[in-house]
Amino acid sequence: MAAITIVMYFQFVLTAVFFGFSMGVAPVVSYKFGAQDTAQMKRVCRFCLGATVICSLVSYVLSRLTIGFCLSVFTDPDSPVFAITMEGFPLYAVSFLFMGVSIFASSLFTALSNGTASAVISFARTFLFLVGMLLLLPQLLGETGVWLAVPTAELLGMAVSIGFLIWGKRVYEY
């Protein structure tokens, strides 16, 4: 439990980047949509998706490179918690590759005044898939399932987000 709690603190810092970026560009998307400037909205959305993917890769690499140092702030490097976390974190860190797209997609649909799509993405990612994977994967895979629950939930959430993004491209012309 201590190991997962420490990793969740790490996740909060990295997701703050995605939330900050997504909230920052939402007014621009909303303005371009309201002004019916589809050409500029396409450029903004394309840039945002590219930036999100790059930030996802950087977050993953950065988390893998700094986990030892960050973990030592919370627990002694000779402790069992440190060892458990160092063993499981590479599995958990994969979630950083997926979460940015879902966070951006949810924010995008909020900016486009589609609260339903935004809510479905957020609910699926943070509750439905996460709770489902936390109940299912540890039963199937033991301790490894605990570490894989968040990445699997984020992957499923990203799949839902991509589905909405594809649908939204036709509807909103971004």
**What is the average pLDDT score of the chain?**
96
Write out pLDDT tens, residues 132-174.
999 999 999 999 999 999 999 999 999 999 999 999 999 999 9
- HSE-CB for 124 with a 13 A CA cutoff: 23
Contact 121, 106 (CB under 8 A): yes
Tokens representing 27? 């007014």
Per-residue pLDDT, 113: 97
The span from the CA of 34 to the CA of 16, in Å, is 27
Higher pLDDT, 128 or 9: 128
Which phi-psi region, left, alpha or beta, contains residue 37 (left: φ > 0; alpha: ψ -120 to 50)?
Answer: beta
3-state secondary structure of 122: helix
Average pLDDT, integer, range 92-102? 97
Write out pLDDT tens, residues 1-33.
888 889 988 899 989 999 999 999 999 999 999
3-state secondary structure of 133: helix
Q: Considering the entire predicted model, what is its pTM?
A: 0.94
